[in-house]
Amino acid sequence: MIPLRRHLDRWLFRIGPPEPSPIVLGQRRIFVLPTPAGLAFAAALLVMLIASINYNLSLGCALVFLLGGVSVASMVHAFRNLLHLSFTPGRAEPVFAGESACFHVVVANHRHARRPSLRLKAHGAIVPFEIGAGDGGDLIVPALTAGRGWMALGRVRIETTYPLGLIRAWSVLVPDQRCLVYPAPEPMPPPLPEGASRNLGRRAGSTGDDDFAGLRPYQPADSPRHVAWKTLARGGPMLTKQFSGMDGGEIHLDWDDFPPDLDIEARLSRMTAWIVAAEQRGLAFSLTLPDARIAMGRGSEHSASCLRRLALFGKDAGADA
């Protein structure tokens, strides 16, 4: 069924690979059909016309033609509501498998007319919006993730039933946009493995649980008990507390150290959980995989690099381009 739908899309809507940005809706890309309400309205007009002719009601015929003209005019307005809209793919922050990815799509209206009652549909999500005259907007399209790796935004449909709901104008586009999905962390992983050498001692700027050292912007992987709830309650931004404490030494995450009965996805899930835990505690760690090795490091950039390796482990070499 899905291959048939793709062939139908390519033939009917001229859909192929992802399109370069910006994607502008020209007149050959916009399709117009009546809605169910529009079909019922047309059927009612047909009954009224037959009755007016049968009983020779000139006013009835005039009313039918007037309402028919209004419906035809609404078709033009629905078509013009989409004409020359511009779409540009935005950013998509990495997420863990099972979470909702947020694709940002920038919409621009270069006409001096408002564009009301618009809807963007992708991955089963419906995002209603409107654009002011000569204005633009950043739309967020949520999409539930399933597995790790790259997730493409894919087929997007933009539609409108403005102004009367009788006519639906729509277009289909495929932005060149994707989101990196990390493996889902293991819910209850074992404790972090001990490093071969642990240089315990006080280190300025390290993260521990002893002395309060300041606040930093909140990250999704932060522990709820480190969130500055009092600052948030006073109307401030969501921040995370930082502590200066004991350095936990170095941790080596090695693929070959796992039990042999763990499959590939289970190992990736456990490594992901350990990386998140090590970042929260400010520990330095290295990562060794069958096809790569990342040297010792710490911080959010180092964690993101390691998680990216785990997300793309075993994928095609061209997928990381």
- Beta bridge partners, 125, equal 122
Which of 139, 164, 182 delimits the end of a domain?
182
Q: Do 146 and 8 share a structural domain?
A: yes
What confidence tens digit (pLDDT) does each residue in 85-138 have? 999 999 999 999 999 999 999 999 999 999 999 999 999 999 999 999 999 999
Tell me the backbone φ, ψ of residue 171, rounded to 5 degrees. -150, 155
The answer on 215 and 169 residing in a single domain is no
Q: Flag whether 266 is in a domain.
A: yes
Nearest 5°: the CA angle 15, 317, 298 is 115
Q: Give yes or no: residues 171 and 230 share one domain.
A: no
Of 182, 202, 231, which one is at a domain's C-terminal end? Answer: 182
Q: Where are the alpha helices (DSSP H) in 197-245?
A: 229-233
Are 148 and 10 contained in the same domain? yes
Range list of β-strands (E), the chain:
23-24, 31-34, 85-89, 95-96, 100-109, 115-122, 125-131, 136-144, 149-152, 156-160, 167-173, 178-182, 211-217, 239-244, 250-254, 284-289, 292-297
* Amino acid type, 26: G
Q: How far apart are CA 311 and CA 154, in angstroms?
A: 19
- Check whether residue 19 and residue 105 sit in a common domain: yes
The answer as to whether 206 is a domain residue is no
Q: Per residue in 173-199, is it b (16+ CB within 10 Å) or e — as a string?
A: bbbebbbbbbbbbbeeeeebeebeeee
Residues 173 and 27 in one domain: yes
Q: How many residues does the chain have?
A: 321
Please answer whether residues 275 and 189 qualify as being in contact, where contact means their C-beta atoms are separated by less than 8 angstroms.
no
Identify the weakest region by mean pLDDT among 24-33, 109-118, 238-247: 238-247
Beginning with the edge strand found earlier in the chain, give each strand of the sheet holding 250-254 in spatial order. Answer: 250-254, 284-289, 292-297
User: What span, in angstroms and rounded, lies between the C-alpha atoms of 175 and 86?
Assistant: 11
Residue 188 domain-assigned? Answer: no
Regarding whether 218 and 145 lie in a shared domain, the answer is no
Residue 189 lies in a domain: no
For the stretch 45-60, pLDDT in tens is: 999 999 999 999 999 9
* Amino acid found at 122: A
Task: Let me know whether 27 and 150 are in one domain.
Answer: yes
Contact 120, 158 (CB under 8 A): yes
C-alpha separations of 92 from 95, 125, 157, 247 in Å: 9, 16, 19, 34
In a shared domain, residues 85 and 178? yes
Domain assignment present for 149: yes
The residue range of the domain holding 294 is 211-320
Asked whether residue 135 falls in the same domain as residue 46, the answer is yes
**pLDDT band (50, 70, 90) for residue 318:** very low
Residue 133 sits in the same domain as residue 27? yes
The backbone torsions φ and ψ at residue 146, rounded to the nearest 5 degrees and listed phi first, read -120, -55
Residues 281-289: what's their mean pLDDT? 89
* pLDDT above 80 for 225: no
Residue 2 pLDDT greater than 70, yes or no: no
Same domain as 284, residue 143: no
Per-residue pLDDT, 42: 95
| Within a domain: 95 | yes
Q: What is the pLDDT of residue 10?
A: 60
CB 301 within 8 A of CB 176: no
205 located within any domain: no
For residue 191, is it within any domain? no
- Exposure string of 55-69, with b = 16+ CB inside 10 Å and e = fewer, is eeeeebeeebeeebe
User: DSSP label at 192?
Assistant: P
Domain count, the chain: 2
Last residue of a domain, one of 182, 197, 231: 182
